[in-house]
Structure 1
């Protein structure tokens, strides 16, 4: 690990198969952390699929996978000459970066953002145990693998993963606020309004929410491969499609309860976004979102094995307490933790190249 948070700038390479224009928690986390690190004075480059030829991901064409990225990624990394290398995902770019680092005998870190074994099983039926065996092998050479919650760390430890470190998340408290609390997109709907915000995909388990017998109304905010099918199946539910900026914050704040039915998320940034808007959260008693709610000392939501019970219990939460709890999560602290967990990637063979790059930049 970095022995000291030395004077800027570090040159930090982040390699991720999840990147813009994708909209998900991994992308938001990496983009925000990179911005925070740059604000501290560090030089950060994110190497994502936007720099490579891509093809659509099977069963999820909105996600683009890099096609044979090894040679180009190696060239890009050599040119950037990073002090630290972080591999955020286990896809084609993650594999190429891992191979580059191992060939060069460069130390690197990884992070475990997504329960891909469960995702793959939900879409294809592929055995979870085999997927975890492959992921365990992928992360094994890393100096540390960053995980978002204590329960995920315990689960991965039980599955044989090693060198795990805690790396929590943050929320934009200026963007996500309790006021003004407008009716839109719940305008004209009977109260209470139960809302889901996020990707509309099978692994999010949205039908478990939509099938619940609840008072009031239901709203689904977001886009994804399941959107058309769910709209046809649940005509009584209001589907808004994807929202951003003020409209997204208004959707959170306008709901009475935010329902998070996923059982495969390792954290759930949307949970913090909802709480920052003063809206309590209902979720299953599963790792990730339940970890967040269990840390609260006030009533900010409910997690149960029975999702309906959680939804009804969340109705009595204190909206002011939700905001107070969210204020304890900052992106600056998230970025500082990330920085402290990085490892030096450079060794004797890399020092001359870094000096060359610094000279080139000074002359440019």
Structure 2
């Protein structure tokens, strides 16, 4: 079986979407399924406004159609609502080809923050985009309920996993004895990083990542250590070297960094919003509070071994099987599961689910 994923986010970008599908391809291959990506590097690109490091593709319909016909996929999944996603949607929609989509990014909130575009306009456009699909995959039950309340339909669950071989407790202290409060992720306005950096906390604050707001924040907060982008072993050591992972974002749909931190034995301090409230077990793997300072201080006392054990329940194999089951049910086996049934599925579980028929 061959699945085509159309995505405006792919290498050399480093973000949650890219890392999700990169790992998904590996897990699907182990299940005998080939995943191919229709990516920006196959087309002419230009810098994304306010994110020049991200290249936006300029795909023509004829070239997209040619690539899809050449690849001959058994199923199509559209990962992003960018130019490639819209062209793939148009190709499938006009030819009556069933496809699935996924909701990774809160574009309404991001566009409001950066360009003052009303969220209602963007939501209407996104509803139109996803309504043509046979199923809309989302990472958490909270996000599913929110999108359904906004008129999105055919919502299906698709959780994420974490590489516990890479992200694990380690006896390292890169940043001193601490306490060390860490943030990892894109350095951008929508991530609400200043809410973390403004907190009065003991010890040291460390920010790992890159983005358009890196230099302004470095200038405003000279006492904070900004390491730049880290990946692989270097990133894993950053997590293991900290005492609390502070996640100030209000707009993430999941937050893979939450799982990476937890797998490293690093308790989380976060706001009680979509993403953290589905991933973090309050009082066990982290502390959720509208008072982020209180959450960060309280998280210092949590059992790091218990945090890591809980994170190990998130399996990439389970995530891949759930993705495949969604594809099979929505595109290949007739009507998809209802949203009500989808929400009854757990976000993560240690037991292996039955293998989907392909």
Q: Deviations over 1:34-79 (max 9, x none)?
A: 1111122212101110111101111111111111332211110011
Decide which of 112, 118, 143 is 2:109's aligned counterpart.
Answer: 118
Structure 2: runs of 5 or more not aligned: 334-358
The Cα shift of 1:346 comes to 7.6
Aligned equivalent of 2:182 = 195
d(CA) in 1 for partners of 2:164 and 2:40? 29
Contact 1:82 1:346 in 2 (8 A): no
Decide which of 22, 25, 28 is 1:37's aligned counterpart.
Answer: 28
SS in 2 for 1:317: coil
Looking at CA atoms only, which structure, 1 or 2, has the larger radius of gyration?
1
* Structure 1 position 290 matched with structure 2 position 277: yes
d(CA) in 1 for partners of 2:325 and 2:60? 29
SS in 2 for 1:342: helix
d(CA) in 2 for partners of 1:21 and 1:199? 14
Highest RCO, 1 vs 2 (Cα 8 Å, sep ≥ 6): 1
The Cα shift of 1:228 comes to 1.1
Aligned equivalent of 2:11 = 20
SS in 1 for 2:27: helix
Normalising by structure 2, we get a TM-score of 0.90
Moved over 3 A (4+): 343-347
Aligned equivalent of 2:94 = 103
Q: Give the count of matched residue pairs.
A: 332
The Cα shift of 1:290 comes to 1.8
Q: Deviations over 1:161-197 (max 9, x none)?
A: 0100111000001011102x2111x13xx62110001
* Structure 1 position 92 matched with structure 2 position 83: yes
d(CA) in 2 for partners of 1:321 and 1:183? 20
Contact 1:177 1:278 in 2 (8 A): yes
Structure 1: runs of 5 or more not aligned: 1-9, 348-364
Decide which of 309, 312, 316 is 1:331's aligned counterpart.
Answer: 316
Aligned equivalent of 2:336 = none
Shift in CA distance, 346/177, structure 1 to aligned 2, threshold 3 Å: closer
Contact 2:10 2:18 in 1 (8 A): yes
Contact 1:15 1:88 in 2 (8 A): yes
RMSD: 1.4
